[in-house]
Amino acid sequence: MALSRRSTWGGALVLLLIAPFVLPTPWLLVLQNALVLGLFAVATNLLVGWSGLVSFGQAAFYGLGAYTVALAWLHGLAPFWLAFCAAPLIAALVAGLTGAIALRARKLYFALLTLAFSELFYVLAEQLYDITNGANGIFGAMVPDILIVPRNGFYFTLAIVAAALFVLHRIFHSPFGLALRAIRERRVRAEALGLDVARHELAAFALSGAFCGLAGALYVVHDQTAYPELLDWVKSGEPVIVAVIGGISTFAGPLVGALFYQIAHDALVTLTRDWQLVLGALLLLVVLFRPAGLASLLERKER
Q: How many residues does the chain have?
A: 303
Closest CA to 41 of 223, 245, 194: 245
Query: Is residue 224 a contact partner of residue 141, using CB atoms and an 8 Å limit?
Result: yes
Could you report the per-residue pLDDT of 103-133, keeping only the tens digit for each? 988 888 898 999 999 999 999 999 999 999 9
Instruction: Report the share of the chain in percent with pLDDT over 70.
Output: 95
Predicted pLDDT of residue 204: 94
Could you report the per-residue pLDDT of 72-104, keeping only the tens digit for each? 999 999 999 999 999 999 999 999 999 999 998
* Predicted confidence (pLDDT) at residue 279 exceeds the cutoff of 90: no
Residue 283 pLDDT class (50, 70, 90 cuts): confident
Residue 143 pLDDT class (50, 70, 90 cuts): very high
pLDDT-wise least confident of 86-100, 156-170, 214-228, 276-290: 276-290
- SS3 for 151-211 is HHHHHHHHHHHHHHHHHHHHHHCCHHHHHHHHHHHCHHHHHHCCCCHHHHHHHHHHHHHHH
* Predicted confidence (pLDDT) at residue 297 exceeds the cutoff of 80: no
Could you report the per-residue pLDDT of 27-45, keeping only the tens digit for each? 899 999 999 999 999 999 9
SS3 category, 230: helix
* Predicted confidence (pLDDT) at residue 299 exceeds the cutoff of 70: no
Q: Which amino acid is at 7?
A: S
Predicted pLDDT of residue 303: 47
Query: Is residue 106 a contact partner of residue 231, using CB atoms and an 8 Å limit?
Result: no
Residue 298 pLDDT class (50, 70, 90 cuts): low
Q: Which amino acid is at 5?
A: R
Angle, helices 107-127 vs 58-74, to 10°: value is: 20
Which residues, including other chains, have CB under 8 Å from residue 141's CB and lie 6 or more apart? 148, 224
HSE of 178, CA atoms in CB hemisphere, 13 A = 3
**Residue-by-residue DSSP string for 258-287:** HHHHHHHHHHHHHH-TTHHHHHHHHHHHHH
Higher pLDDT, 3 or 125: 125
Could you report the per-residue pLDDT of 208-231, keeping only the tens digit for each? 999 999 999 999 998 899 999 999
pTM (two decimals): 0.92
Domain positions in the chain are: 26-231
